Chain A
Amino acid sequence: MKSRHTRRGALALGVGVVGALAGCLGGTSGSAGSSESTGSSPASSPTASDADGPPAADHAPYVAYEASRLRNATVSGGVTKDGIPSIDEPSFLDASVAALDDGEIVFGVVRGDDVRAYPQRILVHHEIVNDRLDGVSVSVTYCPLTGTVLGFERGETTFGVSGTLVNSNLVMYDRATDSRWPQVLATAVEGPLEGRALREFEVVWTTWGRWRRRYPDTAVLSEDTGYARNYGIDPYGSYAPTVRGYYNRESTMFDPLATDDRLGTKTVVVGVRTDAGATAVSMDRLRTRGVVDATIGDDRLAFVHDPVLDAGHAYRVPADATVESATDAVRVDGERYAPDALPFERRHAIEAMWFAWAGFYPETTLHA
């Protein structure tokens, strides 16, 4: 009798724990997203009409690891391929009718005549929007676990969510060739296009109020995405510092490729990677200083804080130029310029959680 009770008790506990986690997992995995499975969606099957996949970049960014190492570090995130569905037929609203609070996070893009804002609360449920901007087919992509938002040209194909992660980062796939593209690397690590780098464009992480002040006529991604989702809920919690959740915890869900404790794991940095390497500055330091000097290889860079958008920009700066912060402007050799309009070549500035940046670029320099 006694032993029977013991077994039953153990079973009871086991059932309870597993049962509890079954439900919890549902909530979590929906957000984390991933598992290397064959999706049943027609959209997930490569088609010949998309032929060669997305166009190649002229200059490939530095990748710190062999593709095989990255493939080996790829893990399931708990959802199937396309289980997190990309938005393939986006529709947009005028700013005047968008029901957004000023403090809501949006990802802003200016490309030609097109000015668009993509609310974080929509993208957290889709991660990829296949769109057209200024006549060019593009994808605006967001990875909740690394806090990164990047834009890519996609050519005739579209990108989807593979269901896998590397260094906690979204692994996209193109529907032409099914090649696998970790978002931050912008480079295929698996499939027929392995080694190809994507053409990128900058996407700004800011708030709706700030974006609308600068671009009052902006269009906004509509919640009419073709999917039934609760866009009022972020499965990972909230970016509000007082609210507990993934964004405000030190722990990550997956082991990073490399660890670096110079900053907290979720501390926001602004990073730049070129073909020669990577560098980053903490967002706090950039806010305080206005301008931060950095180098990658032989290139001198200037990180510049844009106080209107509370965002970072980066420029390749001549060695003898003087770049200084000034009230509401940046002074270059004595001349005043808007932070987003310095007379230099732009470099993509990418906001990211520190653990993600340091994991992908373990030899990055850091200005903190």
Chain B
Amino acid sequence: MRKRLRRAAWTVRAALRRRDGRAAFLLGVLGYPLLYLGTIGHLAVGGRGWSVLVVDDPVARAFRQTRPFSFEPVARVVAEPLVVLLSPLDVAVALVLAALVGANLAVAVAVWRSPAACGVESSAGLLAGVPALLTGATCCGPAVLFALGVGATGTLLTVFGYATPLTALLLLGGLLLVARSADTNAVRTDG
């Protein structure tokens, strides 16, 4: 396992040495938190004017859980037209996921754009990129759950309590899988 982790880290580093890999990584790291915070309602359009509100005892409030892996906002910033709720631990969760999304994207792009050689075909890289893309791009808010219909969402809500760590594990798993078969020639650094 340690060897596989090292190999995954090497694959990511190799991808980040390429220009297209870095671009993909930045896209994930910068874009995903915006999507994540938007879908949990902490980043929204519709604010009027400019204002900052900080709650009493923000440090204690920051650790108060609202649902699994989500915590109380300690401040609200309105900067027309945006409204931002600042929950430090939610931002931390978003950044961890964003790093994994960025790494997946970087490796995917690097492998996809390299010639198919010695281990991984270009389609493998594309497939590995799908989770990262879907993680950010297909998220469309509560409508997804409501669309699932009667009963299903009640059960899903329980499962979804663990969706955040599960997502992190699966993104990590995606990296490990790609790294397992990636070849030094497949992730060249001359992108």
Residue numbers of A with Cβ under 8 A of B are: 1, 4-5, 7-9, 11-32, 35, 39-41, 75-80, 83-85, 226-230, 232-233, 235-237, 244-246, 249, 251-255
Which positions in B face A, CB cutoff 8 Å?
35-36, 39-42, 44, 46-47, 53-56, 63-68, 70, 72-76, 83, 85-86, 97, 101, 121, 123-124, 127-136, 138-146, 149-151, 153-154, 156-158, 160-161, 163-164, 166-167, 170-171, 173-174, 177-178, 181
On chain B, the residues within 8 Å of A227 by CB distance are: 55, 72-73
Whether A25 and B65, one on each chain, are in contact in the complex, defined by CB atoms closer than 8 angstroms, is: no
Given A9-B127, A13-B130, does the pair A19, B146 have CB atoms closer than 8 Å? no
Q: Say how far B157's CB is from chain A's closest CB, in angstroms.
A: 4
Given A21-B144, A23-B40, A83-B65, verify A8-B153 contact (CB < 8 Å).
no
- Once the chains bind, are B56 and A229 in contact (CB under 8 Å)? no
Q: Identify the closest chain A residue to B74 (Cβ).
A: A228
Contact present for A5 and B127 (CB under 8 Å): yes
Q: Is the CB of B151 within 8 A of A255?
A: yes
24 contacts between A and B (CB under 8 A): A5-B124, A12-B128, A13-B130, A15-B131, A15-B134, A15-B135, A15-B170, A18-B167, A19-B101, A19-B139, A21-B156, A24-B139, A24-B144, A25-B156, A29-B67, A75-B157, A76-B158, A79-B67, A80-B68, A226-B56, A227-B73, A228-B85, A232-B46, A244-B143
Q: List A contacts of B170 (CB < 8 A).
A: 11, 14-15, 18-19
Chain B, Cβ-Cβ closest to A9:
B127
For A75, what are the chain B residues with a Cβ–Cβ distance below 8 Å?
A: 154, 157
> 3 closest pairs, A vs B, by CB?
A16-B134, A19-B135, A15-B131
User: Please, which residues of chain B bring their CB within 8 A of the CB of A84?
Assistant: 66
Contact A230 B163 (CB under 8 A): no
Rounded to whole Å, the gap between the CB of B12 and the closest CB of chain A is 16
Expressed in whole angstroms, the Cα–Cα distance for A214 and B177 within the complex equals 67
A17: chain B residues at CB < 8 Å are 134
Q: Is the CB of B68 within 8 A of A35?
A: yes
Contact A78 B160, beta carbon cutoff 8 Å: yes
Q: How far is the CB of A27 from chain B (nearest CB, A)?
A: 5
Residues in chain A near residue B64, CB distance under 8 A: 40-41
Residues of chain A contacted by B86 (CB below 8 angstroms): 228
Please give me the residue from chain B that is nearest to A33 by CB atom. Answer: B67
Among candidates A5, A78, A246, residue contacting B161 with C-beta atoms closer than 8 Å: A78
Judging by beta carbons under 8 Å apart, are A254 and B151 in contact? Answer: yes
Q: What is the CA–CA distance of A13 and B127 in the complex, to the nearest angstrom? A: 9
Q: Are B167 and A19 in contact, with the CB atoms below 8 A? A: yes
The chain B residue with its CB closest to the CB of A265 is B150
Are A236's CB and B142's CB within 8 A? yes
Chain B residues positioned under 8 Å from A1 (CB to CB): 121
User: Which residues does chain A contribute within 8 Å of B83, judged by CB atoms?
Assistant: 230, 232-233
Contacts of A78 in B (CB 8 A): 67, 157-158, 160-161
Identify the closest chain A residue to B137 (Cβ): A20
- B67 near A230 with CB under 8 A, answer no
Are B66 and A253 touching (Cβ within 8 A)?
Answer: no
Instruction: Given A12-B131, A18-B167, A20-B139, answer yes or no on A4-B181 (Cβ-Cβ < 8 Å).
Output: yes
Q: Given contacts A19-B167, A22-B164, A27-B142, are A83 and B67 in contact (CB under 8 A)?
A: yes
Q: Shortest Cβ distance from A36 into chain B, in angstroms? A: 10
C-alpha spacing A79/B69, complex, angstroms: 10
> Are A251 and B150 touching (Cβ within 8 A)?
yes
Report whether B145 and A8 are in contact in the complex, using a CB–CB cutoff of 8 Å.
Answer: no
State how many angstroms separate the Cβ of B137 from the closest Cβ of chain A: 8
| A25:B145 contact, CB within 8 angstroms | yes
What's the Cα separation between A12 and B167 when bound, in Å? 11
Bound-state Cα–Cα, A92 to B146, Å: 35
Q: Which residues of B contact A16 (CB under 8 A)?
A: 130-131, 133-135, 138
- A79 — nearest CB in chain B belongs to which residue? B67
- Tell me the complex Cα distance, A12–B112, Å: 15
Chain B residues lying within 8 Å of A80, measured Cβ to Cβ, are 65-68
Residues of chain B within 8 A of A23, CB atoms compared:
35-36, 39-40, 135, 139
Q: Which residues of B contact A76 (CB under 8 A)?
A: 157-158, 161
Whole-angstrom CA separation of A83 from B69 in the bound complex: 12
Cβ B41 vs Cβ A246 within 8 A: no
Evaluate whether A20 and B144 lie within 8 angstroms (CB atoms) in the complex, with A8-B127, A15-B131, A75-B154 already known. yes
Q: A12-B129, A27-B41, A252-B150 are in contact. List 18 more A-B contacts (CB 8 A).
A: A18-B167, A19-B97, A19-B101, A19-B139, A19-B170, A21-B144, A24-B139, A30-B70, A78-B161, A83-B66, A227-B73, A228-B73, A228-B75, A228-B76, A232-B83, A233-B83, A246-B142, A254-B151
Which residues of chain B come closer than 8 Å to A26, judged between CB atoms?
36, 39-41, 67, 70
The answer to whether B55 and A228 have CB atoms under 8 Å apart is yes
